[in-house]
Each structure stands twice: as C-alpha cells, then as structure tokens.
Amino acid sequence: MTPTATPIAEAASSFLASQRIAVAGASGTPGGNAGNIVYQRLRERGYQVFAVNPNAEVVEGDPCFRDLGDIPGGVEAVVIATPPDAAETAMRACIEHGITQVWMHRSFGAGSVSTSAAELGREHGVTVIEGGCPLMFAPTSDGPHRFLKHVCTWMGKVPRTV
C-alpha cells in the first residue's frame, strides 16, 4: 500500500514545530547565502538553531559545527542548504543521527534538492520536504517569502505534498 501524501502546509507546520534545527550549508561568509538567511530568521524567531559546515568555524557570529553529531544534545530537524551534490552526504548524516525531518531548500534553480538524497531519506523513514523554504510558512514567514511561496509553487519549486 502506498503511503498517503501529506499536504505541504501540514509538513511545514510539523517541521517548524521543532525547536532545535540545524542548517547544513550555512556559510562562514556573511551575506545573502540562502542557508544564512534561514539561519538568521530561525534564530530571530526563537528557535535553537545550529550551523553545520565542515569549512567554517563561525556563522553569523555563532559557533559552527563540523558535523551534526558535534551538536550538543542533537537536533530535531535539518534544513539542507548545500549544493545539490552535497545533499546526499547531509542526508546520510541525518539518517546516522536519527533525524527524521529534513527540508531541502529551493526557491529558484536546483537549490539544494537532490532526488537521490530525498529517496535515500524516505527509504530510512525521513520526512523530506523537497523544495521551497521554511521561511515561506508561518511562523517564520514574511510578506516577500509568502509571495515567493505562491510563485515558486506555481513554478513547481515548492511541492504541494510530501
């Protein structure tokens, strides 16, 4: 029997109900990197957020962790904001550390979405949101991101179901 698809709004709500979220791929170089924008907004909205990047020591003024396993107390969910070819490595780390909620960031272009990484995660019981951005959904959204959600959904970059 094929599992029933979950509407994106429900999957996003479940993901954002997590209080400890890692952002894999946040950059040590401040700026417009999607991972850094997600990291900043989650932090501003009161989440315990952790940057993960093996090539950075500090992200947005906070300590950065080389691996998900280095985060004291672990996390409940992960935003993957890496290039697509690194998403499978990030997914393997999520599986290894028992993380069952993963969001692969994408607005325009490929973003961080990797079909093979998504399939791997699902094979291991991970709920994978394959596209869009956590900032497109309440309680982390703002006007521009809500607008982008509509545009990107229309373009097929935000899934309608998970």
pLDDT of residue 30: 79
The residues with which 59 forms a beta bridge, in sequence order, are: 62
31 — phi, psi (to 5°)?
Answer: 150, -155
Q: What percent of the chain stands above pLDDT 70?
A: 98
Q: Is the per-residue pLDDT at 1 higher than 60? A: no
pLDDT higher for 2 or 62? Answer: 62
**Cis bond before residue 139 (omega within 30° of 0):** yes
Q: Which of 66, 44, 48 is nearest to 57 (CA)?
A: 66
Tokens of 5: 């698809």
41-93 per-position pLDDT tens digit: 999 999 999 999 999 999 999 999 999 999 999 999 999 999 999 999 999 99
Q: Is the per-residue pLDDT at 110 higher than 80? A: no
Q: Average pLDDT for residues 127-146, to the nearest whole number?
A: 95
pLDDT band, residue 109 (cuts 50/70/90): confident
pLDDT of residue 62: 96
Tokens of 154: 């229309």
Q: Is the per-residue pLDDT at 2 higher than 60? A: no
| Domains of the chain by start residue, with CATH | 8-155 (3.40.50.720)
Mean pLDDT of the chain: 94
